[in-house]
Amino acid sequence: MSFRHAFDPTVLREYDIRGIVGRTLHPADAFAIGRTFGSIVARNGGSRVFVGYDGRLSSPDLEPKLVEGLMASGMTVVRIGRGPTPMLYFAATVHEADGAVMVTGSHNPPDYNGFKMMLGRKPFYGSAIAALGHAAAAGDVVDEATGQQSHMDVCKDYVARLLADWDGGDRMLKVVWDNGNGAAGEVLERLVAGLPGEHIVLNGTIDGRFPAHHPDPTVVQNLQQLIAAVRAEGADIGVAFDGDADRIGCVDDQGVPLFGDQLLVVLGRDVLRDRPGATIIADVKASQVLFDEIKVAGGNPLMWKTGHSLIKAKMAETGAPLAGEMSGHIFFADKWYGFDDALYAAVRVLGIIARLDSPLSTVRRALPQVVNTPELRFDCDEARKFAVIEEVAGRLREAGAQVAETDGVRVLTEDGWWLLRASNTQAVLVARAESKTEAGLERLKASLVEQLAASGLAAPDFSGANAGH
């Protein structure tokens, strides 16, 4: 049987394949991903692919078609069932799989779904995803074959491995967890049963409709239930996950959110006690406070491109034991396997808190205080977005500005810094600015607006954008 398949072009993204079920993403796409990715694994000399799926309503329909496509490429498929994305990463890593595919819509709305992939132990992204799309369209696959499948329950081993790195002793913390009705539900139930202390789990039931709130812990609005519970319970910390639990959100004992870069300061200091001089990686959207504090703690801060696959690749290249993004992806290669895992990051954070002689809020308040904008996203035509960045960079270089061009432009001035970068996944530009003073932040925003205007773009909406950090 000949095979050719054309994907909706909007679903082939930089870091994964993702779309709206029934509109841009269908079961036939799942089969095509299996058929084509299985062929890539086969041509890479592999034969065994692990598959998992999240708690979305469409995942049980997409996963079997994915498996069917993989088997048609001769793969031996190991199905681990429903759970968080990092559980699949764990299974594929410890069992040395030749590839892995997770059916997940991550933090997107309920009608979305998608696929995250690993080839060997490395992320499969960027040009590799584009090449998969071209191969499917051209029917460039291995001859049809009959593969095999089996089921493996890895939940018990995964939880045991998470608990193995608990280093907080017997201190009885009080912790509120918000699973957000995401895919971590059953794993989280087992995890808290193995940790000391008192644990209150909100929205623990896996429900792909996400009835409590949207499953994205980086948006403060989605943390309101957790904040209220932490304050009501007098808890030491609140922890939240996104839909597939590869991103973490935290609020301290006062119910104040810690952003990804603040969390990385706490984790980085702890790692550097045992690994002085180590490289700690963060993306270009992170606060200057993070890079400065890592240096003060004896580390080597490295600013890198936004994107979980790009960060993972840079970690492998540099041997960094820890990395993180503003989006809540935290990557441990210190005692762990180098992939982003919110459950593992939570265990490490709790261990640190258990060893502190003061509450987490004290640590947060002791950080240098800055004012900044959140991540501002505004529309820019796909064909124009990267050109705008080039134009802005050219003008800044000509003016002798201090510019880092790791990912877009990050401009450092006496007032602080501002960032403008093109999204890899959407037709938008992303901006952010940070200063030690309100007046400084206004000057930074004015400079950013001036550059956008010079490229014919209107300013983003800054209303209500100033926030303490």
Task: Kindly give the pairing relationship between strand 48-53 and strand 76-82.
Answer: parallel
User: From first to last of its 469 residues, what are the pLDDT tens digits of the chain?
Assistant: 689 999 999 999 988 999 999 999 999 999 999 999 999 999 999 999 999 999 999 999 999 999 999 999 999 999 999 999 999 999 999 999 999 999 999 999 999 999 999 999 999 999 999 999 999 999 999 999 999 999 999 999 999 999 999 999 989 999 999 999 999 999 999 999 999 999 999 999 999 999 999 999 989 999 999 999 999 999 999 999 999 999 999 999 999 999 999 999 999 999 999 999 999 999 999 999 999 999 999 999 999 999 888 999 999 999 999 999 999 999 999 999 999 999 999 999 999 999 999 999 999 999 999 999 888 888 998 889 999 999 999 999 999 999 999 999 999 999 999 999 998 877 899 999 999 999 999 999 999 999 999 999 988 877 655 555 5
- Residue 317, C-beta contacts closer than 8 angstroms, at least 6 positions apart: none
Give CA–CA dist 434/437, Å, rounded. 9
- Residue 384, C-beta contacts closer than 8 angstroms, at least 6 positions apart: none
Question: Which residues are designated catalytic?
Answer: 106
Which CATH class name applies to 371-468?
Answer: alpha beta
Task: Give the residue from 305, 263, 310 showing the smallest Cα distance to 285.
Answer: 305
pLDDT tens, position by position, 288-324:
999 999 999 999 999 999 988 899 999 999 999 999 9
Burial 85-103, CB ≥16 within 10 A → b, else e: bbbbbbbbbeeebbbbbbb
Give CA–CA dist 264/182, Å, rounded. 23
Q: Which long-range contacts (CB under 8 A, 24 or more apart) does 442-448 make?
A: 443/413, 443/415, 444/413, 444/415, 444/416, 444/417, 444/418, 445/373, 445/418, 447/411, 447/413, 447/418, 448/418, 448/420
Same fold across 157-366 and 371-468: no
Fold (CATH) for 9-153: Alpha-D-Glucose-1,6-Bisphosphate; Chain A, domain 3 (3.40.120)
Q: Domain map of the chain by residue range? A: 9-153, 157-366, 371-468
Q: CA distances (Å), 10 to each of 21, 101, 130, 307, in order?
A: 13, 19, 11, 18
CATH superfamily of 157-366: Alpha-D-Glucose-1,6-Bisphosphate, subunit A, domain 3 (3.40.120.10)
Report the predicted TM-score, pTM, of the whole model to 2 decimal places. 0.95
Give CA–CA dist 147/139, Å, rounded. 19
Q: Crossing angle of helices 385-398/438-454, nearest 10°?
A: 110
Q: How far is CA 442 from the centre of its chain?
A: 30
Give CA–CA dist 89/99, Å, rounded. 10
Give DSSP secondary structure letters for 188-228.
HHHHHHHSSSEEEEES-S--TT--SS-S-TTSGGGGHHHHH
Give CA–CA dist 440/92, Å, rounded. 48
